[in-house]
Amino acid sequence: MSDESTPPATDAEGREEQTARARLRTALAPRATVQQLVIGLLFVGLGFAGVAATQASAQTGLLATAREDEVVRVLDDLTERQIRLQAEQRALEAARDRLLSGSEEQRLAASRARADALAILAGTVPAVGTGIRVTLQDGGGAITSAVLLDAVQELRDAGAEAIQIGDVRVVASTWFEDDPSGVSVSGTVLTSPYRLQVIGDAATLATALEIPGGVADTVRTAGGSIDVVQETEVVVRALQPVSTPQYARPAPSPSGS
């Protein structure tokens, strides 16, 4: 009796097997439908909303846990800053209108006034005007570089136009550092009592230093003292040295030829 082997698969059976495998791969392959895209976008939106809500709740938590005097200080600072910005906006709009409707001489006068204001901010010229004189007396390390920096920042926020501490003119590049003898202001070591001459609206400047939780409270709590006197005329004579530009230099004038 002869052995019979399994008959080979026909061409039809092979094609049917290939078709079945192709259908299986198509069924298992991931497909992005419109519904899946919409659901994905919704999840992304929910993620952004969750992050925003977390940040908002964190900020609310900070205000909720802050002391009453700290909340009052924050609100006062925001209110005064809004008032100053609105006044500055009105002044800039008025200056713009004057320049647009004025003559060439008026434009030149406005440019000179702007240059003078920038020179005062840069500390390259003396300044005079209404303002305050502040005396900070140390007591048990009450006056540190951080305290002087806070005082300058509060005065700037209150609209100070020119500030002098001791014999140092305070400008944007001024820095403060603690020193064994006192406080170093841009490399000049100052000792107690620290005297500040500030030009600006006297009442606003004095109020800024007395905000609850501000510089005055910090100094007195640490055992020091602060004295603020409003003056009709304060002179800031200290000048900021004019340094040679390290990188930039004036461009050569174009030749007439």
pLDDT single digits (tens) 44-80: 565 655 655 555 454 545 556 667 777 777 777 778 7
DSSP 8-state assignment for residue 251: P
> What pLDDT is recorded for position 240?
83
Give the range of the structural domain holding residue 52, as residue numbers without chain letter.
36-65
Number of domains, the chain:
2
Give the pLDDT band (50/70/90) at residue 2: very low
Q: Would residue 144 count as lying in a domain?
A: yes
> What pLDDT is recorded for position 53?
54
Distance between CA 224 and CA 143 in Å, rounded?
7
Q: Would residue 202 count as lying in a domain?
A: yes
pLDDT, one tens digit per residue, over 208-225 is: 998 888 899 999 998 999
> What pLDDT is recorded for position 119?
82
Q: Would residue 156 count as lying in a domain?
A: yes
Q: Does residue 98 sit in the same domain as residue 207?
A: yes
Q: Would residue 253 count as lying in a domain?
A: no
Q: Would residue 196 count as lying in a domain?
A: yes
Angle among Cα 39, 43, 45 to the nearest 5 degrees reads: 115
Q: Would residue 141 count as lying in a domain?
A: yes
* Strand bridging mode 188-190 / 182-185: antiparallel
Tokens of 210: 């007395």
Q: Does residue 59 sit in the same domain as residue 72?
A: no
Q: Which ranges in the chain belong to alpha helices (H)? A: 11-28, 34-65, 68-101, 104-122, 145-157, 202-209, 215-221
Q: Does residue 49 sit in the same domain as residue 116?
A: no
Cis status of the peptide bond prior to 250, with omega within 30 of 0:
no
Between 115 and 185, the higher pLDDT residue? 185
Q: What is the CATH number of the domain that holds 169?
A: 3.30.70.1880
Q: Would residue 29 count as lying in a domain?
A: no
Burial of 198 (0-12, 13-18, 19+ CB in 10 A): buried
Distance between CA 229 and CA 132 in Å, rounded?
5
Between 57 and 159, the higher pLDDT residue? 159
